[in-house]
Structure 1
Amino acid sequence: MPSSAMAPSYAAVLRTRHACRTFGAALLGRLSYGTVSLSLVLAIKETTHSYAVTGTVLALFGLTGVLLSPTRARLIDRYGPRRALLPMAAAYALLLTGLALATWRPGASGTLLGVLAVPAGACMPPLGPVMRTLWSDLVPDRRLLQRAYSLDTVAEELLFVTGPLLVGLLVQVAAPSVGVALSAALVGTGSLALVSSPVVRGWGGRDKAPAGQAPSEGPASGLPPAPLRRRLLRGGPGLRQALAVSAATGVCLGAFDLLVIAFADAHDEPAAVAWVLAALSGGSALGGLVYGAVSWRASNRLRLALLAAAMGLTLGTTGLAPHPYVLVVWAALGGLFVAPALTTAYLIADECASHATRTTAGAWVNTAFNAGSAGATAATGLLVGHLPLPVCCALVATPVVLSAATALHRPRRPAPDATALRGPAGECTSHGAGARAGGREVDAAESPDPRSESS
């Protein structure tokens, strides 16, 4: 049955031809991202007995992964998963295996670990952006795509809860380096299963560089192609809003983990940390499932602004909680808006991108979130101890509240080269999405369809 004929539901998404196989393969590979960080921390600390070396190696691994994410996505948009994703995954798995071997015995050189960590981070395959691009092919019905993205976001949230728990069980019976090796096996197996999906077989290279293309616009530059880059910088308020909210959400959540630890220490309740963070993730999963099941009439840009404001105001006042176990409830309430906000940001990015740049656009949303999270963790470490916790919580949530204002911007007049890519309200409308939805363009300002109202 064509997806367009199905009633919009999560069951309809999973009944779509090849959806379960493709999604399952992507989740298997993405579970590696939930296991690798904790495994590396434990393995490097055990072999070097140095927090400084551990922190440095993890920072190198994380930064190269975040900064080169758009480059990797751009390569996949250009050459397809079989020619780009599979070599990345193979190199990443081999380098993780090298790190596992290097940390197997005590006394590993910090320099060697750093030399292995940098290219490993650079090769990390963007399985999330690739899967979201494949969802656009699997479920061309725009109502179903909202459900698919919500399901994807919630599943990813749960993987980052399941992964550390799996590592915690594993280190009870084996060395931490086995967790690194497991991460390599997961990403290798999942990536191979993903590229063998019939959906991926028809991908091919979607973006051919025009003759005489400047080197700075090539696939290795990490920049989106010129049309997407112009919309990102000046002509795409929807995409800019998605990036702003994603980065601000990363700032808030990256800082929140550290603030919860400080809050629990101040109340002498260290065991409450796990409950608070679990409540945040549980609230996010619940909110994402409910959000995806509703057929919204408000535009995606308006919804994203409201979600950002609600998230920021809720998490910004968590520092006023009188006890860590009251904070559990507060965190769950704030989490209700996290997955819906990220789901909407991905919908907006998909709609703003052309058929040839959807993976790159989604990767930019990922990059904004991860960069915000990494920067906030470092900044929050400086704030804690110098300012009261309620003030710290309010400060880190302020960017999320302010990012809601990006929905208020409307361009006065679209540039001639961007007119065909935007609706009359200045929102992005993807030609590729319109074609996939039934061979016609849908006006972003007039259609009640949820996906057609996004960026």
Structure 2
Amino acid sequence: MSGPPDSKAQSPGYRTLLRTPKAWAFVVPGLAARQPLAMLTISMVLLVRHATGSYGTAGAAAAITGASMALCAPRSGRLADRYGQRAVLLPAIALHALSVLGVVALAATGITAWWLLAAAVPVGATVPQIGPMVRARWAVALDDPSSPLMQTAAAFESVSDEFTFVVGPVLATALCTGVHPAAGLVAEASLTVAGGALFAAQRLSEPPAHRVSASSGVAHASALSLPGVRALVVAFLGVGAVFGGMQVSLAAFTQEIDRPGLNGVLYGMFAAGNMLAGAAYGAVSWRHGPRTRLLAAYAGLTVACAPLWAAHSLALLSVLPLIAGAFIGPTIVTAYSLVDALVPRTVRTEAFTWLTGAVAFGQAIAVTVAGLLTDAQGSSAGFAVPLAGTALALAVLAGLRAHLLPHPAGRAVTGGIGHRPPVSVD
């Protein structure tokens, strides 16, 4: 039976990664299935704005959707670990599509804004967690937490996520403005069902379910019970603060200089820095361990966010977001690759969903705070949110750095003793 490529004998390049047996069977459907998520927020904003005439209500609906997803995603991941991805994914895509169509129907009736805000809760709660599921499949396909290809896989998935968030908002905006205000959400629901069903059909690459019988008296603990996961969650809350603060503050800045059309260009520079740096970072064999690299990347991100609040020119804000984005990619790639070494496979999908949920929650908070600050004092005040979020997260991450060292023999969170292959440490 063929296994993953001999990563010790080959460089951790993308060509080597994609020669992993069964990889293409879940990579392509996974990319298609996660595309709707990149369309969701802007589609919700544009429809609710059309229905209520209020950007404030539209922003609140988007924030509620993101917060709801962040709170419910870990539970979805935990169920996927216990019962299998297909068993969780098929009901999720059906419930999500129905929830989205419910928002569309409410918007068409001209109902009060409070009903639309309430309807945003199930929309976020039922978002299928495709990204974490794909990452869990890479961990199974490579079957070696110490493999340098784990970092490459994390980088590949980070670039894939960024690609969807480049395409998704453009597609959703074109549908909402060129076809109908509800067209973006209708397309999002349709693609969720089609892409999610296609991904769920890939049974050969699906991680095995880790069920525990009731008679054993042992229950799965949450991945959040692991101190290392909690440290990474804090780091990703800070990353979410950068995303949310950038979105609001760049939009406010381009309005202040009366060139709102440049908002997409400036945010695109930020996304480009993220995507390119993540791709380059994942193709390099690093001498230092993942803990050192994570702390260095996060410190660089904090420093890169520092001058944003003082930049008042278009020239500076064309370059500074690119630099900040260049530190986001390595931070995310290293954190995701650390999960594979820190977390038992019985709760791996749940651990990934805690991180993606933390980004969504941090972004929801940052959008709200940055919006209030920019309304009161302008875009410069909004740019303080990424700095504050990353500085606080860096302090916590540094304090918890002892928990970011992978252990050769890990303690499983099911109550027994689980043994993993030795991994490199700092």
Alignment TM-score, normalising by the size of structure 2:
0.87
Contact 1:29 1:127 in 2 (8 A): yes
Matched, 1:86 2:90: yes
> Could you tell me how far apart the structure 2 residues matched to 1:176 and 1:126 are?
26
- In the other structure, the counterpart of 1:221 is none
Matched, 1:364 2:367: no
- In the other structure, the counterpart of 2:236 is 246
> Could you tell me how far apart the structure 2 residues matched to 1:213 and 1:113 are?
43
Matched, 1:35 2:25: no
- In the other structure, the counterpart of 2:273 is 283
Q: Give CA-to-partner distance per residue, 1:408-447, whole Å, 9 cap, x none.
A: 6565xxxxxxxxxx8xx843557599xxxxx9621432xx
Give the residue type in structure 2 aligned to 1:75.
Answer: L
Structure 2 residue aligned with 1:323, among 295, 313, 316? 313
Contact 2:245 2:385 in 1 (8 A): no
Change (3 A) 1:88 1:319: same
Contact 2:240 2:358 in 1 (8 A): yes
Give the residue type in structure 1 aligned to 2:129.
Answer: P
Structure 2 residue aligned with 1:195, among 200, 216, 228? 200
Structure 2 residue aligned with 1:125, among 82, 105, 128? 128
State the secondary structure of the residue aligned to 2:18.
helix
Contact 1:349 1:362 in 2 (8 A): yes
Q: Give CA-to-partner distance per residue, 1:149-199, whole Å, 9 cap, x none.
A: 101111101211210111222235411212211111111111111121143
Contact 2:342 2:410 in 1 (8 A): no
Q: Give CA-to-partner distance per residue, 1:242-280, whole Å, 9 cap, x none.
A: 222211111122112222233334444333322210000
Matched, 1:107 2:107: no
Give the residue type in structure 2 aligned to 1:122.
Answer: A
Give the residue type in structure 2 aligned to 1:226.
Answer: A
Contact 1:228 1:357 in 2 (8 A): yes
Change (3 A) 1:209 1:296: farther
Alignment TM-score, normalising by the size of structure 1:
0.82
How many equivalent pairs are there? 413
Give the Å deviation of 1:392. 5.2
Contact 1:48 1:106 in 2 (8 A): no
Matched, 1:14 2:9: no
- In the other structure, the counterpart of 2:67 is 63
Query: Structure 2 unaligned runs (5+)?
Result: 413-418
- In the other structure, the counterpart of 1:427 is 406
- In the other structure, the counterpart of 1:165 is 170
Change (3 A) 1:74 1:330: same
Give the Å deviation of 1:380. 1.9
Give the residue type in structure 2 aligned to 1:208.
Answer: V
> Could you tell me how far apart the structure 2 residues matched to 1:40 and 1:385 are?
22
Contact 1:10 1:293 in 2 (8 A): yes
Change (3 A) 1:408 1:102: closer
Contact 1:352 1:429 in 2 (8 A): no
> Could you tell me how far apart the structure 2 residues matched to 1:429 and 1:391 are?
46
- In the other structure, the counterpart of 1:73 is 77
> Could you tell me how far apart the structure 1 residues matched to 2:163 and 2:409 are?
30
Contact 1:18 1:197 in 2 (8 A): no
> Could you tell me how far apart the structure 2 residues matched to 1:71 and 1:227 are?
9
Matched, 1:144 2:123: no
- In the other structure, the counterpart of 2:415 is none
Structure 2 residue aligned with 1:314, among 292, 295, 304? 304
Change (3 A) 1:85 1:270: same
Give the Å deviation of 1:129. 0.9
> Could you tell me how far apart the structure 2 residues matched to 1:199 and 1:393 are?
46
- In the other structure, the counterpart of 1:415 is none
Moved more, 31-40 or 388-397: 388-397
Moved more, 279-288 or 107-116: 107-116
Query: RMSD over aligned Cα, in angstroms?
Result: 2.8
> Could you tell me how far apart the structure 2 residues matched to 1:258 and 1:186 are?
27
Structure having greater relative contact order (Cα 8 Å, sep ≥ 6):
2
Contact 1:312 1:397 in 2 (8 A): yes
Q: Give CA-to-partner distance per residue, 1:35-55, whole Å, 9 cap, x none.
A: 122222222232333445434
Contact 1:428 1:444 in 2 (8 A): no
State the secondary structure of the residue aligned to 1:226.
coil
> Could you tell me how far apart the structure 2 residues matched to 1:54 and 1:394 are?
23
Change (3 A) 1:432 1:66: same
> Could you tell me how far apart the structure 1 residues matched to 2:39 and 2:113 are?
21
Give the Å deviation of 1:111. 5.2
Change (3 A) 1:196 1:398: same
Query: Structure 1 unaligned runs (5+)?
Result: 218-224, 233-237, 412-421, 434-438, 446-452
> Could you tell me how far apart the structure 1 residues matched to 2:359 and 2:348 are?
17
- In the other structure, the counterpart of 2:226 is 231
State the secondary structure of the residue aligned to 2:344.
coil
